[in-house]
């Protein structure tokens, strides 16, 4: 139904032909927090035909200030972000196919996602995942858009492998732990989320339509200080990724745990487990703590820890940012 998109098709650079092209496109959004929810909302309403939304986390009350696809009922029902986003987007535009992946996107699984997509959008909260995305997209020559926000400032950058600088041209080395601010230490305003995603989602349409207006610079802005910059970043011939094709981050498989940004929580992966039987696990745990579960996750509280376990045996251990402690808690109550 092109009538739905009439105000968009009236815009000359898109038109009806461009709208039909958007309807056949497939975009993967990695992360479904502040950036991911707004990007998914914008592209769904714009009629991008197939969206894949991948996120490892569940919804908490402090998300509601800036993560626009969620509400208080989602928090109360303990629904994973990707599932809640899919449900909301289905009510917004039933013509768009939305695939929800409740999973942590790592080097182990990203290549298939990248190969099957026309465009990857970064909506993550950590540089390690972004470097993995960069490696995979450079390897398979797939465009992606890097975006990030913190406090009142944000950045976005289109990466067209072979044409523009890649992420490692701009940032050759992974920032040391603790060297960059997080939303827990610096906060984040919802206005900067809207500003950066407005740019990124429009650039996404340009890329999908192969426009000659695609931005090839990094865009940086601070809404509080009223500053806006376009930074030209040339490709670096000695770049490990797009220059030498050494995909260091893509080759780092099987990460066991990850400290989550600003959460006092650690994610623990257990690759030896198959599908988790929540009923059996709940029966075993109920004698030692408070436990409840639904089809998507099991939540268990014991001592000062809260464990949220997913069907793939992945768990988020809240109450510590020490990965060794988190793995110990996991082993004690879930089993390694």
Catalytic residue list: 183
CB-based burial, 83-118: b 16+ in 10 Å, e otherwise: bbbbebbeeebeebebebbbbbbbbbebeebbeebb
DSSP 5-37: GHHHHTSTTTHHHHHHHHHT-EEEEE--SHHHH
Return the axis-axis angle of helices 34-46 and 81-92, rounded to nearest 10°.
30
Q: What is d(CA 26, CA 24) in angstroms, rounded to the nearest whole number? A: 7
- Closest to 162 in 3D by CA, of 146, 131, 140: 140
Question: Could you tell me how many residues make up the chain?
Answer: 336
Q: Which residues pair with 305 in a beta bridge?
A: 302
DSSP 22-91: HHT-EEEEE--SHHHHHHHHHHHHHT-SEEEEEE--B--GGGTTT-TT--HHHHHTT-BHHHHHHHHHHH
- Closest to 32 in 3D by CA, of 72, 77, 63, 62: 63
- Closest to 279 in 3D by CA, of 303, 254, 298, 307: 298
Query: What is the DSSP pairing of strand 26-30 with strand 119-122?
Result: parallel
End-to-end CA distance of the chain: 51
Kindly state the tokens that stand for 144: 């992606």
Q: What is d(CA 148, CA 12) in angstroms, rounded to the nearest whole number? A: 30
Handedness of CA 157, 159, 162, 165 (dihedral sign): positive
């Amino acid at each position: 139904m092109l009538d739905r998109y009439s105000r968009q098709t009236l815009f000359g650079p898109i038109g009806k032909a461009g709208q039909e092209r958007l309807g056949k496109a497939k975009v993967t959004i990695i992360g479904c927090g502040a950036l991911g929810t707004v990007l998914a909302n914008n592209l769904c309403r714009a009629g991008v035909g197939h969206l894949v939304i991948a996120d490892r986390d569940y919804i908490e009350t402090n998300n509601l200030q800036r993560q626009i696809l969620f509400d208080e009922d989602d928090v109360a029902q303990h629904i994973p972000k990707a599932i809640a986003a899919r449900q909301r987007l289905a009510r917004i535009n039933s013509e768009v196919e939305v695939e929800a992946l409740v999973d942590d996107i790592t080097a182990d699984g990203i290549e298939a996602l990248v190969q099957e997509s026309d465009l990857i959008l970064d909506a993550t909260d950590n540089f390690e995942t972004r470097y993995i995305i960069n490696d995979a997209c450079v390897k398979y020559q797939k465009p992606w858009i890097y975006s990030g926000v913190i406090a009142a400032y944000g950045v976005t950058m289109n990466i067209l492998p072979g044409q523009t600088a890649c992420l490692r041209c701009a940032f050759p080395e992974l920032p040391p732990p603790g060297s960059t601010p997080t939303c827990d230490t610096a906060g984040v305003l919802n206005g900067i989320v809207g500003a950066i995603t407005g740019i990124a989602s429009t650039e996404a349409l340009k890329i999908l339509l192969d426009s000659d207006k695609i931005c090839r610079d990094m865009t940086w802005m601070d809404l509080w200080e009223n500053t806006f910059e376009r930074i030209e970043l040339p490709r670096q011939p000695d770049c490990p990724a797009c220059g030498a094709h050494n995909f260091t981050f893509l080759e780092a498989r099987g990460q066991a745990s990850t400290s989550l940004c600003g959460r006092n929580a650690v994610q623990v992966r257990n690759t030896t487990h198959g599908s988790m039987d929540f009923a059996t696990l709940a029966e075993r745990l109920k004698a030692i703590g408070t436990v409840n579960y639904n089809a998507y996750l099991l939540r268990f509280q014991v001592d000062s820890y809260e464990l949220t376990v997913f069907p793939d045996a992945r768990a988020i251990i809240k109450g510590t940012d020490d990965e060794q402690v988190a793995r110990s808690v996991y082993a004690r109550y879930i089993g390694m």
